[in-house]
Amino acid sequence: MGKRLLVIGGVAAGPKAAAKAKRCDPQMEVVIYQGEEEISYAGCGLPYFISGVIKDRERLISRTPGKFALDGIKVLRGRRIEEINIKGKTISGKNLESGELFEDRFDRLVLATGAEPIRPKIEGIDLRNIFYLRSIFDADAILQAMQSERITDVVIAGGGYIGLEMAESLIQLGKKVTIVELAPQILTLFDEDFAAVLRQYLEAKGVQIFTSEGIQALTGRDGRVTRVRTSAREIEAHAVLMSLGVRPRIDLARKTGLKIGETGAVWVNERMETSVEGIYAAGDCAETTHLITGKKVWVPLGSTANKQGRVAGVNLCGGHAVFPGVMGTAIFKVFDFNVAKTGLSMREAEKEELHPIQAIVRGYDRAHYYPGGKESTLKVIADQKTGRVLGGQAIGEGPSDKLIDILAMTLHGKMTAQELANVDLAYAPPFSPALSPVIVAANVLTNKIEGKVKGIQLAEAWERLSTSGGSFEVLDVREEDEVAKKRIPGSTWIPLGKLGKQVGELNKKKEIAVHCESGLRSYKACLKLQEQGFENVKNVDGGMLCWCDEPEGKG
């Protein structure tokens, strides 16, 4: 008889590990235990189910227990596992319907217990119409509640990407939506410039956003939530979605004595094996390694869960597979904006004591002359000393997914900006500009690394202009029609073509930040000024691409 594999958890990593193990070793007895009544569902699809983009709930279920049975995998639902006996190689748990206790034995075990939403201990948290979004049942509950006409005002606690996706879903359902975020910006994994662009976009779509505000209490009437009290105001709310993040579900692992890592998730090696031989962990309950920093991280994502589940499945059959780690790649769609990231942000790179520099360029999806084009703004970050590419961010209606995937592969290949500048990407007019935006960005980075022109971040230029009392100047070298549309208040305007004649109007003693729309003309202007003996000129990264009419901190 074959070995017996028990899998605890039936959403993503668990079923994947089970299926892979059964294919690797058809003799193996495989049982999946799942606390909930549904298994193998698409957690990442839930916001789209709520918004109505995905109409059929069944579509979210990848595989039913019947399909698992066809492959010889047994699925036991509604069973909560309460104890693991390492020495005796048994588990015990409770049938949630009948209340009966049960036991089972194993040769191999996979923990795929997932993550759970953070539930803050604040006043009123137990009122009705306070929601979390983690399981398909949470989605059912939200959807049902949102059909009520009494619920018109919804507050979302937390401006991470689940909160933002849900903001769109709820706007689509006709709700008035307010996001309250404790941090000074939404989307804290992104740099503040990109977060500000997204904020402006969401506000234009009707989402109200308050940052640097913690939720202090929820108040209600007749047991239902009616208002949210933050550190700065009270907001009417007929429902509240708590999306303050998730944490790994590790009670069982901790109780069992499995090593918990520094991130608070279950420690595993590259083979996804825990501190106890024969017991594996995969998916949202397990930690992993960040491949840029080399540090342990906990990044719960469906794609990672699938890969880790497969690796665990191979190894528990005696095979050899490794999951080396993640790059921190993430993407989400909110309205028509595609927002994506890989690797480190500027802020994260600075924390790692690297020397990050950035290029911000237009990320077109086709040749400029091919009609129907869409554009994202692309940021690529590299280390000034080594040239190594550290990360990237993309935002807009354009091909953020493709650009970030190219950058994720750049990171996997440990490439420098100089190397990235010459990669052989697919070019034809309907698919890309002749030079891919990542190549343009790599060229900008290469120029910076070679030190021809220094860069300055837009936010810093703005702040210096506002506070330096005249020793700092922002020079706009765009054309008249561009300046008429939007302009940085207090900037000096000389179009590039007139710079030669009007250079006398500028003061060589001042520090000058030059900008245009996207950075190329201002780069040329910087070169011209340096030639004329200006020693303290800087090119504003990405020009006006990240300029917001009312950016955070701009007052």
Catalytic residue set: 44
User: What phi, psi does 503 have (nearest 5°)?
Assistant: -60, -25
Q: How far is the CA of 351 from the CAs of 108, 197, 296, 348, 401, in angstroms?
A: 40, 23, 15, 5, 26
Q: How far is the CA of 248 from the CAs of 28, 57, 267, 289, in angstroms?
A: 29, 26, 11, 16
CA 162, CA 47: separation in Å to the nearest integer?
8
- Interface with a second copy: number of residues (CB under 8 A): 88
Q: What is the DSSP letter of 388?
A: B
User: Least Å distance between CB 323 and a second copy?
Assistant: 6
User: DSSP assignment of 57-107, as one string?
Assistant: GGGGBS--HHHHHHTTEEEEESEEEEEEETTTTEEEEEETTT--EEEEE-S
CA 374, CA 377: separation in Å to the nearest integer?
10
* Tokens 């595609």 -> residue: 338
Q: Rule CB under 8 A: say whether 503 interacts with a second copy.
A: no
Which one among 104, 375, 419, 482 touches a second copy, defined by CB under 8 A? 419
Q: Rule CB under 8 A: say whether 413 interacts with a second copy.
A: yes
User: Least Å distance between CB 112 and a second copy?
Assistant: 14
Segment interacting with a second copy, rule: CB under 8 A, options 150-158, 204-212, 236-244, 337-345: 337-345
Q: Rule CB under 8 A: say whether 149 interacts with a second copy.
A: no
CB 179, CB 208: distance < 8 Å: yes
User: Least Å distance between CB 456 and a second copy?
Assistant: 19
H helical segments located in 205-301: 251-256
Which one among 409, 468, 471, 505 touches a second copy, defined by CB under 8 A? 409
CA 535, CA 190: separation in Å to the nearest integer?
32
User: Least Å distance between CB 184 and a second copy?
Assistant: 25
For a second copy, what does the binding mask look like between residues 343 and 382, x meaning CB under 8 A? ------------------------xxxxx-----------
Which one among 135, 293, 304, 358 touches a second copy, defined by CB under 8 A? 304
User: Least Å distance between CB 239 and a second copy?
Assistant: 24
Q: Among 531, 351, 383, which Cα is nearest to 448's?
A: 383
Site for a second copy in 29-48 (CB under 8 A): 42, 44-45, 48
Site for a second copy in 314-333 (CB under 8 A): 319, 321-333
Site for a second copy in 234-293 (CB under 8 A): 291
Q: Rule CB under 8 A: say whether 405 interacts with a second copy.
A: yes
User: Least Å distance between CB 109 and a second copy?
Assistant: 22
In the bound state with a second copy, the residue whose beta carbon lies nearer, of 63 and 464, is: 63
Site for a second copy in 424-463 (CB under 8 A): 424-432, 434-436, 439, 443, 446, 450
In the bound state with a second copy, the residue whose beta carbon lies nearer, of 12 and 166, is: 12
CA 262, CA 275: separation in Å to the nearest integer?
14
CA 465, CA 197: separation in Å to the nearest integer?
20
